[in-house]
């Protein structure tokens, strides 16, 4: 049990690694939290470093969720007798690390890419459905934040659809918790969306409050 818990702590510490912050600081010598939306996410890093860096940061943040949910969980199950549901709990820990990173005095990002990695490590099919929902919502609404919000809402439903009666109640609960975290971190965006004031992509105005 103690080793399973320690791996959970490791999952949080992996999630806490501020990839966007480190890249911008190393390459430009500035704090990305002073740029654009002041967020640590891939969209804001792209403002500081250029569009190609979006993919780099998104991939790294995605890996922060995938590695704990898939690999660390595999270690815990195979070596320490943990239940398979430990994977999604490690994913939640990694997402919490991204949102409240130990290394940046608990001031982190919104956790969307890390959550996506965690969900992929647990249920690639559900993650695929969530990705489709994100893309469709982005194309229709032209708002990254809206795509993130709707996709997060769709994930618990997508998991139930792909697993049927074989799905884990713990995993469903964790997906709902992750959804609530995403909604809470996007509460300002939600307010702007309801007022029709959220900036859009693919138009003259570019997104200033990203996922």
pLDDT in tens, 151-189: 999 999 999 999 987 888 999 999 999 999 999 999 999
Over residues 140-156, mean pLDDT:
94
Work out the mean pLDDT of the chain and round it to a whole number: 92
CB 92 within 8 A of CB 155: no
Does 11 fall in a domain? yes
Does 127 fall in a domain? yes
List, as own/partner pairs, every contact residues 51-60 make where C-beta atoms lie below 8 angstroms and the sequence separation is at least 24, other chains included: 53/23, 56/23, 57/19, 57/20, 57/23, 57/113, 58/113, 60/19
* Burial tier of 25 (Cβ tally within 10 Å: 0-12, 13-18, 19+): middle
pLDDT per residue over 13-47, tens digit each?
999 999 999 999 999 999 999 988 888 888 889 88
Does 55 fall in a domain? yes
Asked if pLDDT for residue 205 goes beyond 80, the answer is no
Does 209 fall in a domain? no
Residues 75, 4: Cα–Cα separation, whole Å: 9
- Whole-model pTM? 0.91
First to last CA, the chain: 35
* Boundaries of domain holding 144: 2-195
Place of tokens 């890390």: 114
Q: So what's the pLDDT on residue 208?
A: 47
Number of domains into which the chain is organized: 1
Does 24 fall in a domain? yes
Does 208 fall in a domain? no
109 phi-psi bin (left φ>0, alpha ψ -120 to 50, beta other): beta
Q: So what's the pLDDT on residue 203?
A: 56
Residues 6 or more apart whose Cβ sits within 8 Å of residue 23: 45, 49, 53, 56, 57
Does 112 fall in a domain? yes
């Amino acid at each position: 049990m103690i080793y399973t818990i320690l791996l959970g702590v490791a999952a949080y510490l992996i999630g806490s690694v501020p990839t966007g912050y480190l890249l911008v600081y190393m390459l430009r010598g500035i704090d990305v939290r002073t740029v654009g939306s002041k967020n640590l996410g891939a969209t804001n890093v792209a403002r500081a470093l250029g569009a190609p860096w979006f993919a780099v940061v998104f991939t790294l943040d995605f890996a922060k969720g995938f590695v704990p949910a898939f690999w660390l969980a595999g270690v815990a199950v195979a070596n320490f007798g943990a239940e398979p549901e430990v994977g999604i709990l490690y994913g939640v820990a990694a997402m919490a690390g991204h949102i409240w990173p130990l290394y940046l005095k608990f001031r982190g990002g919104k956790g969307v890419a890390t959550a996506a990695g965690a969900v992929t490590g647990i249920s690639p099919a559900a993650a695929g459905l969530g990705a489709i929902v994100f893309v469709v919502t982005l194309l229709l609404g032209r708002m990254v934040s809206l795509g993130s919000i709707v996709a997060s809402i769709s994930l618990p439903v997508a998991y139930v659809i792909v697993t049927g009666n074989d799905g884990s109640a713990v995993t469903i609960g964790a997906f709902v918790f992750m959804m609530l975290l995403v909604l809470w971190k996007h509460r300002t965006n939600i307010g702007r969306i309801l007022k029709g004031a959220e900036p859009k992509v693919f138009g003259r105005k570019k997104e200033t409050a990203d996922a």
